């Protein structure tokens, strides 16, 4: 998964998920891990924090059969998708005499769309595009330096293989 907005620069995450189709809806539960990424202070170059995020999510999507048939029979479209993400964002300072570390709660709403190409009855190539709006945004500050990072609204894209059991 790629993201622009959660971290200071474009970043990537690993996000395994599992889903189930219930009537006209698809429900997915996932976990994401954003490895440590450096965020440098604009006020004092060479100082900043290494920030990581671990989060879980729950998302529901509407399955639109008429749209699927209009596109192609081997394409599945899920619109709209909405969900919530809950996790822990952690930062560890660098470039100062007493860097310290801290963590904060991450709560965000997710909204977007997804499409899958049915490669085989048991395998799909799935693309998901979404906007992520943080409700709880941990703000990381280094004493004597100032703010290092505060997440903002993010755009995400994920491409992955899905196994249908």
Provide CB contacts within 8 A for 90, sequence distance 6+.
51, 52, 53, 54, 101, 102, 103
CA 15 and chain centroid, separation? 8
Report CA-CA distances (Å) from 59 to 44, 87, 127, 143. Answer: 40, 15, 15, 38
| pLDDT of the residue at 112 | 97
| pLDDT of the residue at 118 | 87
Number of domains in the chain: 1
Tell me which residue range forms the domain holding 46: 2-163
The tens digit of pLDDT for each residue in 109-146 reads 999 999 888 899 889 899 999 999 999 888 888 888 88
The tens digit of pLDDT for each residue in 88-119 reads 999 999 998 888 899 999 999 999 999 888 89
Q: CB-based burial of residue 124 (10 Å sphere; 0-12 exposed, 13-18 middle, 19+ buried)?
A: buried
- pTM of the predicted protein model: 0.86
The tens digit of pLDDT for each residue in 14-55 reads 999 898 888 889 999 999 999 999 998 888 889 999 999 999
CATH number for position 25: 2.40.160.70
* Whether the predicted pLDDT of 81 surpasses 80: yes
């Amino acid at each position: 998964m790629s993201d622009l907005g959660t971290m200071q620069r474009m970043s990537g995450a690993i996000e395994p998920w599992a889903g189930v189709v219930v009537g006209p809806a698809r429900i997915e539960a996932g976990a994401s891990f954003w490895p440590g990424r450096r965020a440098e202070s604009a006020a004092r170059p060479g100082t900043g924090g290494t920030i990581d995020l671990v989060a879980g999510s729950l998302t529901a999507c509407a399955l639109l059969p008429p749209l699927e048939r209009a596109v192609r029979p081997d394409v599945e479209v899920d619109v709209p998708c909405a969900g919530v993400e809950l996790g822990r964002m952690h930062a560890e300072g660098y470039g100062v005499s007493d860097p310290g570390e801290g963590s904060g709660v991450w709560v965000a709403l997710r909204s977007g769309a997804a499409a899958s190409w049915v490669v085989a009855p048991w395998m799909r190539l799935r693309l998901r595009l979404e906007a992520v709006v943080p409700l709880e945004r941990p703000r990381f500050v280094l004493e004597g330096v100032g703010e290092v990072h505060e997440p903002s609204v993010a755009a995400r894209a994920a491409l992955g293989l899905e196994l249908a059991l």
